[in-house]
Amino acid sequence: MGYENPMPIQEKVIPYLLNSGSEVIALAETGTGKTAAFGIPIIQQIQVCYKHPQAIIICPTRELCIQIANDINNYSRYLKRLKILPIYGGSSIENQIKILQKGVHIIVATPGRLIDLINRKTVNLQHISNIVLDEADEMLSMGFYESIDEILYHIPKNRNILFFSATMPQKIVQITKKYMQNPYKIIIGEKNSGPNNIQHVYYIANTFDKYSLLKRVVDYYPGIYGIIFCRTKNETKKITNLLVTDAYNVDSLHGDLSQMQRDYVMQKFRARSIQLLVATDVAARGLDVNNLSHIINYDLPDDVESYIHRSGRTGRAGKTGISVSIIYSKEIHKIIAIEKNIDKKFDKISFPSGKEICRKQFFYFIEELERTETKNEEIENILNSLYIKLSQISKEDLIKKLISNKFAYLINYYQNTDSETKILQKRNKKNNYNLNKKHIYNSKRLPKKGYTLLSVNLGKINGLVQSKLIKLLNDNIPGHKISIGKISLMKNLSYFEVKNIDKNRIIKNLNNIEAFGEKIIIKKALKNAERI
């Protein structure tokens, strides 16, 4: 199968399970060889003379279920009597019951379908010695906590639980404490950090249209093969339609697709018949696709665990990958929060110019030409006539005509777009100046009587709005409710008026707490505050 050396997770897990067979919690990213890490020892321990299930592997989605079953079939190719059965929704439960009745040794299942079979009393779990929870954090984020709880209830007490997860949210900690006894913990990389071979970058979309920026990112990487993540299925459909209209090779994955449509899209994507997949988090959970070069966050996810899962779909099996986020300036606090959680720095990148994009496209095209095989007899037969036809054109003119013909639309599009962008950037710069000018705090505009003006190191760039500032004060300061006067929000600093009697209480309780990805600094404002 191409394995030459064990990957780190395999090197630690396989000997441990073969030698002791006790319980394991393994934290490692998707694509680091986890299936072989638990699959090979399980195969080794199966007694094929008994035809009842001896191991069960639980995973979040149909796609991952099929992938794991295929991998274990490949690992056990020369064990002719070993039977593996994938169990998942969307296929005939009657056929699955028939195969179970004939006898299987390893079951790979999604939680919902397995519980259906348990309730029908058509699956025998009394001889299970190993149960694997793969992508455990994804299963819990999809709402399978009760399902996992119920499945573990039906498994014998003298069994081993093997937890494999990319992150360690609190719900996993609860399950491990409830069902496991002194598990051996294996952490590959840093806990909740993601792989080290992924470059994390972000672009800030200001007045420049966000969709146009997405196109620039895609065009700048002409060989891109990746997933574009959107927040909702409606936005997924919208972005897909726009990209298809603009002649990009894309398809989408969202909740409105039937299982048959979903399978068809994934078949095309895995075969690289489509270059980009536009998807929601829910639709893309459990996808197992190799060699993705990029993940693009058209919308940032709401939590760090989701970001880790998204970015972890690239840079797998020791390869490099790029995780791109397109954000508005008010979302910079989300980037800061993710950086702190995964302990990795994001690179802020300016969106590429039309000239840079066209240059990248030209050179990629030339590199493809260089790699093209030319051993075709039919071509050889017509070359002489082609040489005669082209003999009147110089080499330089031929290259110009070839490039112009191939990239005419791209060249014209970015010439026009770059001109419009310069106008928008000038207008934006002027608007920002006028906006900031309005927020100069001047000694002539003193706070009203009985109030003090305070400043806080948060602003619009942190996503701060008036209601969130009020909530921040009242949630973190004990005692009576804070009375707030005028509020002025600026780019990265804000001013607000409070009653004199509350001033010291606010400064004492709020200074140095963590909020909006920042350590809060509150102080009395100067009489002439600097313009931000």
Q: 50 and 152: one domain?
A: yes
More confident residue, 374 or 449: 449
Cα maximum dimension of the chain: 94
pLDDT in tens, 81-112: 999 999 988 788 999 999 999 999 999 999 98
Extract the tokens encoding 431. 């608007």
Same domain, 293 and 394: no
Same domain, 127 and 31: yes
Residues 339 and 406 in one domain: no
Both 275 and 307 in one domain: the answer is yes
Judge if 131 and 154 occupy the same domain: yes
Residue 337 and residue 413 share a domain: no
Residue 427 lies in a domain: no
- DSSP string of 116-181, one letter each residue: HHHHTT-S--TT--EEEEETHHHHHHTT-HHHHHHHHHHS-SS-EEEEEESS--HHHHHHHHHH-S
Domain that holds residue 380: 356-422
Same domain, 360 and 330: no
Based on the fold, state whether residues 475 and 404 are members of the same structural domain: no
CATH number, residue 494: 3.30.70.330
Domain membership flag for residue 435: no
Q: How far apart are CA 444 and CA 446, in angstroms?
A: 6
The total domain count for the chain is 4
How far, in Å, are 85, 228, 478 from residue 100 at the CA level?
8, 39, 61
Could you report the per-residue pLDDT of 121-168, keeping only the tens digit for each? 999 899 999 999 988 877 876 778 888 888 888 888 888 889 888 777
Whole-angstrom distance between the N-terminal and C-terminal Cα of the chain?
60
Residue 226 lies in a domain: yes
The two structure tokens encoding residue 115: 């519980």
Identify whether residues 334 and 368 lie together within a single domain: no
- What is the rounded CA–CA span in Å between residue 13 and residue 27? 11
Q: Does residue 443 lie within any of the structural domains?
A: no
* Radius of gyration of the chain from its Cα atoms, rounded to whole angstroms: 29
Rounded CA separation 211/8 (Å):
40
Q: What are 273-312's pLDDT values in tens digits?
A: 999 999 988 766 667 677 889 999 999 887 787 888 788 8
pTM over 0.85: no
In a domain, 513, yes or no: yes
